[in-house]
Amino acid sequence: MLAKEPSHGYELRGRLRDLLGPLGESMNAGQIYVALTRLEKAGLARSEQASGLPDRPERKVYALTSAGHQRVAAWVGAVTWPKPDLAEFHLKLFAAAAAGLADPVALVDAQRAELLQLLRDAQRAAMELAEGSESALLLEGIVLRLQADLHWLDACERTWTEKRGDTR
């Protein structure tokens, strides 16, 4: 979210809450500030004191450094399956769109290509195993999970296509 614009922790927490819904509600404000401090120590963000309004104290406003922007760009382009964190992928789509880092539909397409390859590999391996074996059961679970994830990516693509007004 800092890739879009500099912000203070309270703003970031509110945006995350809005973006993640129930998942964001449980986020502790302290987590945001710990993450911001770590980003600053790692040289990925910098902070400045911003004068507050008469009824509010001064706040630290955080902005990404050039190294931080590079890290975000790498994160946006990374394919994270087979252990997806759906909330992280959702944030990735939002961050890519909000900061103009990448086309969310292109990110969905890249994830889909990765999942389709994993699905083909799992199905091929499942066909080589004896039906009813423990390994076949595990592979069936993997295939079902990948199919569900592909279905969810279809929903993501529909949403982001509608947001940008495409008719494809």
Q: What are phi and psi of 157, to 5 degrees?
A: -65, -45
pLDDT digits (tens, 9 = 90+) for 60-106: 899 999 999 999 999 888 886 656 678 888 888 988 888 898 999 99
* DSSP letter (8 states) at residue 129: S
Please answer whether residues 84 and 156 qualify as being in contact, where contact means their C-beta atoms are separated by less than 8 angstroms. no
pLDDT band at 138 (very low <50, low <70, confident <90, very high): confident
Nearest CA to 126 out of 114, 148, 142, 115 is that of 142
Angle, helices 66-77 vs 86-98, to 10°: value is 120
Burial class (CB in 10 A: 0-12, 13-18, 19+), 166: exposed
- Gap between the terminal Cα atoms of the chain: 28
**What percent of the chain has a predicted confidence (pLDDT) above 90?**
42
Cα distances from 118 to residues 36, 139, 149, 150, in angstroms, run: 35, 11, 11, 11
Tens digits of residue pLDDT in 110-132: 999 999 999 999 898 888 877 77
As given in the structure block, the two tokens for residue 62 are 């955080």
Q: What's this model's pTM, rounded to 2 decimal places?
A: 0.72
